[in-house]
């Protein structure tokens, strides 16, 4: 087994060196979920926790970073949404508090934002949804990339993780650390991406039912009950009214959203409201919905964002146990191969 563990450590050495953690496993930032408790637990367990800033103002972010620093001496990162109106101030807060890694998410970051974050001394990670964008981000100064496929929970792109990994890893994996995310629930899958050239992996869904995670018990129960097929992308009913694709568990809210779009679009068609107002109403439907599910526990009327790997979440577990399990599964896979007899023709 030790040979297999050494093999794993060689495979993700680049990721471990980049993150400064024992395991190259990022706990992907999840708004309302990835707070001081979960982030510190992931980093203390040897992984790399990432705080979700979401829509927090800069003083709240500062408070959360400081509270996380009180709970762990290990490195962790901060995820900032590029569309946040106070992005520059948030980057500065990360700099003032000595955050080592800033993840710029939720849209293509500007070169200026990447530079500002790098100027604080932080390493900057960005999401690359296609090879052309990966190259652009590398030119703009990103230090590492996250490649996230459509199996993931939350906001998603259209392409599967396995396809994006094949598109981006062979070319970018040699130049810079590339972390693969979306649909990873077990160590064997993690290993397969490392063998394809990933520096490490990022998991979100798998950490929601961590004991240290503050999500409401109803939210965790919904994860434990759900099958992979229950985590579905948001439905858009009319090409003229775009809907931001989000993967979440099907519930009353996802069903109501379809009816709601039809009602709003009918009001536009009969001239009651303008197209712009109709679009705004559709966008507004989900305002506050993630908090409603995660914090208030209303898993029928809120948004239960979850990836397809939700089908692999079977119980509440300590964060450290989840991390150990992922490593053990990868190591067992490697060890099994080492002891297997060579095939005879």
103 HSE (CA, 13 A, CB side): 27
Single out the residue of 12, 23, 28, 117 in contact with ligand FMN (rule: CB under 6 A): 28
Site stretch for ligand FMN (CB under 6 A), options 90-98, 132-140, 196-204, 327-335: 196-204
> Which is closer to ligand FMN, CB of 103 or CB of 335?
103
Residue nearest to ligand FMN (CB): 204
Residue 187 in the binding site for ligand FMN (CB under 6 A): no
At 151, list the tokens.
Answer: 């199996």
Residue 109 in the binding site for ligand FMN (CB under 6 A): no
> Which is closer to ligand FMN, CB of 191 or CB of 335?
191
CA distance 107 to 83: 7
Burial class (CB in 10 A: 0-12, 13-18, 19+), 308: buried
Residue 251 in the binding site for ligand FMN (CB under 6 A): no
Site stretch for ligand FMN (CB under 6 A), options 4-12, 24-32, 62-70, 234-242: 24-32
Residue 210 in the binding site for ligand FMN (CB under 6 A): no
CA distance 31 to 29: 7
Residue 31 in the binding site for ligand FMN (CB under 6 A): yes
Single out the residue of 15, 109, 154, 197 in contact with ligand FMN (rule: CB under 6 A): 154
CA distance 103 to 125: 5
Residue 15 in the binding site for ligand FMN (CB under 6 A): no
Residue 49 in the binding site for ligand FMN (CB under 6 A): no
Residue 322 in the binding site for ligand FMN (CB under 6 A): no
With a CB cutoff of 8 Å and minimum separation 6, the contacts of 12 are 23, 24, 194, 199, 200
Residue 246 in the binding site for ligand FMN (CB under 6 A): no
Kind and range of the H or E run holding 233 = strand 231-233
Supply φ then ψ for residue 70, to 5 degrees.
-70, -25
At 166, list the tokens.
Answer: 């094949």
* Residue reference for tokens 């050494």: 6
Which residues here bind ligand FMN, judged by CB under 6 A?
A: 28-31, 33, 52, 54, 79, 105, 148, 151-154, 181-184, 202-206, 305-307, 309
């Amino acid at each position: 087994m030790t040979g297999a563990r050494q093999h794993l450590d060689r495979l993700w050495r680049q990721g471990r060196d980049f993150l400064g953690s024992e395991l190259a496993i990022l706990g992907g930032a999840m708004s309302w979920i990835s707070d001081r408790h979960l982030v510190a637990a992931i980093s203390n367990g040897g992984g790399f926790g990432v705080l979700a800033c979401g829509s927090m103002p800069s003083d709240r972010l500062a408070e959360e970073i400081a509270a996380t620093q009180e709970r762990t001496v290990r490195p962790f990162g901060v995820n900032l949404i590029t569309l946040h109106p106070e992005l520059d101030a948030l980057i500065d807060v990360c700099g003032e508090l000595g955050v080592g890694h800033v993840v710029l998410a939720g849209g293509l970051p500007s070169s200026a934002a990447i530079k500002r974050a790098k100027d604080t001394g932080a390493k900057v990670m960005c999401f690359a949804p296609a090879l052309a964008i990966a190259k652009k981000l590398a030119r703009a100064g990103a230090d590492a990339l996250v490649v996230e496929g459509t199996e993931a929970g939350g906001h998603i792109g259209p392409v599967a993780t396995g396809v994006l990994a094949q598109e981006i890893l062979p070319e970018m994996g040699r130049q810079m650390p590339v972390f693969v995310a979306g649909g990873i629930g077990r160590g064997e899958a993690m290993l397969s991406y490392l063998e394809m050239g990933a520096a490490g992996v990022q998991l979100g869904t798998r950490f929601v039912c961590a004991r240290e995670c503050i999500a409401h018990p109803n939210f965790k129960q919904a994860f434990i009950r759900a099958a992979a097929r229950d985590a579905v992308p948001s439905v858009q009913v009319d090409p003229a009214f775009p809907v931001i694709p989000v993967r979440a568990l099907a519930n009353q809210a996802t069903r109501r959203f379809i009816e709601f779009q039809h009602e709003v679009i009918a009001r536009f068609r009969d001239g009651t409201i303008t197209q712009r107002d109709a679009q705004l109403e559709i966008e507004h439907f989900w305002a506050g919905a993630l908090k409603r599910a995660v914090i208030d526990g209303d898993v029928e009327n809120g948004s239960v964002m979850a990836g397809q790997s939700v089908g692999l979440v079977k119980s509440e577990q300590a964060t450290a146990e989840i991390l150990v399990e992922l490593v053990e599964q990868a190591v067992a896979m490697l060890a099994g191969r080492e002891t297997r007899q060579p095939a005879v023709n």
